A and B are shown apart, each in its own frame.
Chain A
Amino acid sequence: MASAPIADLSYRDYDGPLAPPTYRWWVIAKTTFRNSIRRKGLWWLLLFSGMYYFVMLAILFFVDQFAANARDGEQMFNAFIGRITWKTEFLHGWSTAQMWFLLITLLIGAGAIANDNRANALLVYLSKPCDKRDYLMGKWVGLFLTLLLLMSIPIALFFAYAGLSYSEYGFFSQDRTVILRLLVMMPLGAAFYASLMIGVSSLFNQGRMAGAAMAAVYFLTAFFTKLMEGAWTVMQVDEGARRDLSPIKNLVANLYYASIDGLQIGMAKGVLGTDGSPPFGIQPRRGEGMQFVPAPDLATVLAIMAAISALALWVAWKRIRAVEVVK
């Protein structure tokens, strides 16, 4: 019996098509996106990131069902729905999902450049008709598209359900621009996370180290935000009983946004055009009439986010080198 393989294993020249050596970033972006969405843990994180919307949908569904079967159900339902400010529900959903967005970003983005640094992958990329602009842009776009997709899935589900079910209860008429606002908010949030993660990832040779660094920055600054939120609440309760706290309140209101989490929430407030309100419009008894931390100046928040993103991308740009040059 012949021992030679059935297949022809000799070298054959490739004479097929080759695309012009431009727009290689799109190949990198597609592959980054494809590899990211294959991660199994990602879909669990997505589920958690949309928890607010899913709980909201469940409550709306049960209230709907309950009202349909109860006496005075219609009146009760109208009162319940009437209290809801739809765009603030999107703000709550966005705010509560921030930590999950961070975890998603870490899962798909921490190793984006760090793991390539470890594996000397840059040599592979740059030995093809790519330059570091393609590489950086491809990585960023791949991460951005993945984050955008994952951020938009719960919002789109909630929007579709609420839009179809409650259009006559003011879902669209409360603010006709809400869809446009959401379409601005999501890419801005995704772009900010993508830029930060790419910058941090480029500083390390291991994805887990980059992830730890990014998480440390996030949680330390988020802790500060929570402190400011606590201070704000205390000042709300004590206002009037003591001296005038306005200057301190203003300072606390601004410092509340001095974190990754805070910037994302501030941006969302500015874009959605709301300071926030209690979920379902139900005021807690103790804090009746309580104000939420007012929305910051959108232009300022966007400028800060843009500056931080630009800094992160500049760091990545400096770290990506075609060859190690020993001087």
Chain B
Amino acid sequence: MPVAEIRSLTVRYGTLTALDALTVDIPEGCVGVLGPNGAGKTTLIKTLLGFLDADAGGGTALGLDIALQGREIRQRVGLMPEQDCHIPGMSAVQYVAYAGELAGMPSEQAMRRAHEVLEYCGLGEARYRNVETYSTGMKQRIKLAQALVHGPRLLLLDEPTNGLDPAGREEMLELIRSISHGKNVNVVVSSHLLPDVERICDHAVVLVRGTLRAEGPIRELKKIEGQPVDVELKEASGAFVNAALSGGAQLLSSKGFSYRFQAPGTPDEVLRSLFQAAQATGAQIRGFAVAERSLEDAFLEAIHG
């Protein structure tokens, strides 16, 4: 069951159309919302939370109507905004507990849970410090902690690695990956950093100028049409290539000892015919994989049509 269903959603800021008749299902798991700046990623998140009124269309989040049940949605959803944000004058534990109380938790439970999530987010040692004294990385973590405190079913992360150094980015991505897998929390990550999304998400939605350009499991998006295969040999072999070509395969590219072939049939059938070619020519196959492109290539293809 999708965690959010968007149907013909149009959102405008004056004359600027941020989302243009968008229809998309956000499935369970970890989903990356991709798009260049101004694609409508943040607008989609804000509309899901009920911050913006739709000009047309609508949708649901966690089965609740985004136009009518904003409060109920926000109680079940955690938002980690892109900008730095905190409640001034509070220590981390007070802040996160307060966020829990705002979500409806009893104060004792909120305080207990605040300690738990701060430990989980790696801020256990710094939990009694005023949030204003935190570094950028710590501020990102506390934004995550306040979004998690009430045990949301859906976590919306807007550019979660913004402003982080490489080590901090690694830690944040690891944390998000950990939350989004096997913890009963669905995560939507809005980002324009494709490597981040590729690392933590199972599914991607590509938006361009408020419209849907591509969506699906990242594995599928990265697939190349015709399902070519990459073969790595122990050493270069012209005989093997000739044998493969005579078996009906087409050589797409070669680099060192690696060859990319495309052949009719399923990857298993292609594998079988290539093994036969290798056996016949005495070539030794070291590696075999269905060829795929990078998410960046898939993304570029999606945005350029």
Residues of A whose CB lies within 8 Å of any CB of B are: 7, 9-22, 24, 27-28, 31, 35, 111, 115-116, 118-131, 322-323, 325-327
Contacts and interface: CB of A to CB of B under 8 A. Distances in A.
B51 A126 contact: yes
A27 to B, nearest CB: 5
A120 B106 contact: no
Contact of B183 (A11, A17, A326): A11
Main SS at interface, chain A: loop
B183 A115 contact: no
B165 to A, nearest CB: 22
Interface stretch (B26-34, B74-82, B188-196, B230-238): B74-82
Contact of B105 (A13, A16, A125, A325): A16
Given A11-B183, A13-B151, A127-B79, A28 B102 contact: yes
A21 B75 contact: yes
21 contacts: A13-B184, A13-B185, A17-B106, A21-B71, A120-B81, A121-B87, A123-B85, A124-B87, A124-B99, A124-B102, A127-B78, A128-B102, A129-B74, A130-B74, A131-B71, A322-B51, A323-B46, A323-B51, A323-B52, A326-B13, A327-B15
Nearest to A18: B104
Given A116-B88, A130-B102, A18 B71 contact: no
B98 to A, nearest CB: 6
A108 to B, nearest CB: 11
B301 interface: no
B72 interface: yes
Most chain B CB within 10 A, of A9, A28, A126, A127, is at A127
A198 to B, nearest CB: 16
Given A18-B103, A18-B104, A128-B103, A35 B89 contact: yes
Given A16-B109, A129-B71, A10 B104 contact: no
A123 B83 contact: yes
Nearest to A7: B119
Given A14-B113, A15-B151, A322-B51, A121 B103 contact: no
A300 to B, nearest CB: 39
The 6 closest A-B pairs by CB, nearest first: A14-B151, A120-B85, A327-B14, A128-B102, A127-B79, A18-B104
B16 A327 contact: yes
B101 interface: yes
Contact of B120 (A10, A111, A119): A10
B49 A127 contact: yes
B104 A20 contact: yes
A112 to B, nearest CB: 10
Contacts of A28: 102
Contacts of B89: 35, 111, 115
Contacts of A18: 75, 103-105, 150
B86 interface: yes
B186 interface: no
A7 B120 CA distance: 11
A129 B98 contact: no
- Counting chain B residues whose Cβ lies within 8 A of the other chain, the interface size class is 35 or more
Nearest to A39: B89
B281 to A, nearest CB: 53
B83 to A, nearest CB: 5
A124 B86 contact: yes
A171 to B, nearest CB: 42
B101 A111 contact: no
Most chain A CB within 10 A, of B75, B83, B184, is at B75
A197 B73 CA distance: 32
B84 A120 contact: yes
B66 to A, nearest CB: 14
B102 A125 contact: yes
B295 interface: no
Given A11-B117, A31-B101, A121-B87, 14 more contacts: A11-B179, A11-B183, A13-B184, A14-B113, A17-B105, A19-B105, A120-B86, A126-B51, A129-B75, A129-B104, A322-B46, A325-B13, A327-B13, A327-B16
Most chain A CB within 10 A, of B72, B90, B103, is at B103
Nearest to A16: B109
Contacts of B150: 14, 18
Given A13-B151, A14-B151, A119-B85, A124 B146 contact: yes
B95 to A, nearest CB: 8
Nearest to B80: A127
Contacts of A326: 13
Nearest to B43: A323
Contacts of B198: none
B178 interface: yes
B116 interface: yes
A241 B149 CA distance: 76
B81 to A, nearest CB: 5
Nearest to A122: B85
Nearest to A31: B98
Nearest to A130: B102
Contacts of A111: 88-89
A123 B81 contact: yes
Contacts of A21: 71-72, 74-75, 104
A11 B72 contact: no
A254 B227 CA distance: 89
Contacts of A9: 119-120, 124
A13 B15 CA distance: 43
B151 A119 contact: no
